[in-house]
């Protein structure tokens, strides 16, 4: 695909991987819109990359998603790419009644339902564009082998991986290309609970994922598994139960 002169909406583009992709795609000559819930983070992002357009939006809320679609298509009618990137991760313990499952933030709404609904909103608009368009879903290596401490997160990413494959098949003969980028562990705010427990923060820089996303679009490489996430994808084919056990032991430091 062409990776310049696109108009791109990146959900959750104010920090981490979303911001790195926003910066990379602006540098490559694209117009980039980002959204998020915290105005302070959107303003910080705009200070770092002044060309960005920003919008406050909670994508976990259905009517806010619809409003985001209306705003985007009326203010930026040339929009031709949607990056479903916004995500949250929670440690949820089903032994203690799953606290956090239904508090103020829902992983199912943010990571999965919003990506599906925003795709449903934007795809009919993209199908009418007279140029190539893209839906880019950010999944995770944990879509392939789950980590038990974040069970709902892993389920949402496995679900998004599955949805992405079906969507790609449905749109195969159209102008809308469907990409999946599955990062390994990346140094971002996502792991705030582990950080709060003073676990050292591991992971690759967000800029590495952003570069991989740009390359994937350029080469029409529809499924891009970044770095060590490849090990998890391979493992899920060979011996999923064994690697699930091993991953959880490694994560627990045993
Ligand atoms: N970090 C990793 O190790 C890793 C690995 C694999 C995949 N990923 C995926 O990469 C994506 C980006 O995560 P990240 O690592 O860059 O974490 P991050 O720095 O925490 O970024 C998440 C972004 O999503 C936004 N967001 C969260 N909930 C939202 C909502 N309801 N509405 C609108 N925006 C929302 C956040 O802004 P506000 O809080 O201001 O809304 C933030 O800008 C996620 O889908 C994540 O699952 C990350």
- Output the domain CATH number for residue 106: 3.40.50.720
Contacts 24+ apart (CB under 8 A), 61-68: 61/109, 62/117, 65/114, 65/117, 65/118, 65/121, 66/121, 68/9, 68/35, 68/118
- Its pTM stands at 0.96
Q: Note the pLDDT of residue 199.
A: 62
Please report the sign of the dihedral spanned by the C-alpha atoms of residue 138, residue 133, residue 5, residue 37. Answer: negative
Residue 19 in contact with ligand 1 by CB distance below 6 A: no
Q: Is residue 2 part of a domain?
A: no
Q: What's the pLDDT band for 251 if we cut at 50, 70, 90? A: confident
Number of domains in the chain: 1
pLDDT digits (tens, 9 = 90+) for 180-211: 999 999 999 998 776 676 565 689 999 999 99
Q: Note the pLDDT of residue 43.
A: 98
Percent of the chain with pLDDT over 90: 82
Neighbours of 109 (CB within 10 A): 18
Q: Note the pLDDT of residue 254.
A: 65
Active site residue 102: no
Residue 161 in contact with ligand 1 by CB distance below 6 A: no
Asked if 210 and 181 touch (Cβ cutoff 8 Å), the reply is no
Q: Is residue 1 part of a domain?
A: no
Q: Note the pLDDT of residue 236.
A: 87
Asked if 152 and 108 touch (Cβ cutoff 8 Å), the reply is yes
Q: Note the pLDDT of residue 200.
A: 56
- Residue span of the structural domain in which 132 resides: 7-251
Give the Å distance between the CA of 112 and the centre of ligand 1. 12
Q: Is residue 27 part of a domain?
A: yes
Residue 110 in contact with ligand 1 by CB distance below 6 A: yes
| 53-56 vs 176-182, strand pairing mode | unpaired
DSSP element (H, E) containing 68: helix 62-75
Question: Which residue out of 34, 36, 56, 213 has the highest number of ligand 1 atoms within 8 Å of its CB and is therefore the one to mutate?
Answer: 36
Q: Note the pLDDT of residue 183.
A: 97
Q: Is residue 187 part of a domain?
A: yes
Residue among 69, 125, 153, 222 flagged as catalytic: 153
Q: Note the pLDDT of residue 198.
A: 59
pLDDT digits (tens, 9 = 90+) for 23-80: 999 999 999 999 999 999 999 999 999 999 999 999 999 999 999 999 999 999 999 9
Q: Note the pLDDT of residue 7.
A: 98
Which whole number is the average pLDDT over 6-30? Answer: 98
Q: Note the pLDDT of residue 178.
A: 98
The protein residue whose alpha carbon is closest to atom 2 in ligand 1 is: 186
Ligand 1 atom nearest residue 61's Cα:
31
Q: Note the pLDDT of residue 133.
A: 98
The rounded mean pLDDT for the chain is: 95
């Amino acid at each position: 695909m062409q990776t310049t002169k696109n108009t791109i909406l990146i959900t959750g583009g104010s920090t981490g991987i979303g911001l790195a992709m926003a910066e990379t795609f602006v540098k490559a000559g694209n117009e980039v819109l980002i959204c998020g819930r915290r105005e302070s983070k959107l303003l910080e992002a705009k200070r770092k990359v002044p060309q960005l357009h920003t919008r406050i939006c909670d994508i976990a809320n259905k009517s806010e998603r619809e409003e985001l679609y209306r705003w985007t298509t009326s203010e930026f009618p040339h929009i031709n790419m949607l990056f479903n990137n916004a995500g949250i991760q929670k440690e949820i313990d089903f032994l203690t009644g799953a606290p956090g499952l239904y508090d103020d933030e829902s992983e199912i709404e943010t990571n999965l339902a919003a990506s599906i609904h925003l795709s449903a909103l934007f795809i009919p608009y993209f199908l009418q564009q007279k140029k190539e368009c893209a839906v880019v879903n950010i999944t995770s290596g944990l879509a392939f082998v789950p980590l038990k401490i974040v069970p709902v997160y892993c389920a949402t990413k496995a679900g998004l991986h599955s949805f992405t494959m079906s969507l790609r098949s449905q749109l195969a003969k159209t102008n809308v290309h469907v990409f999946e980028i599955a990062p390994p562990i990346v140094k971002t705010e996502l792991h705030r609970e582990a950080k709060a427990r003073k676990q050292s923060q591991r992971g690759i820089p967000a800029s590495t994922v952003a570069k991989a996303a740009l390359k994937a679009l350029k080469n029409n490489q529809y499924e891009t598994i970044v770095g060590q996430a490849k090990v998890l994808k391979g493992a899920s084919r060979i011996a999923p139960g064994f690697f699930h056990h091993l991953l959880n032991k490694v994560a627990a430091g045993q």
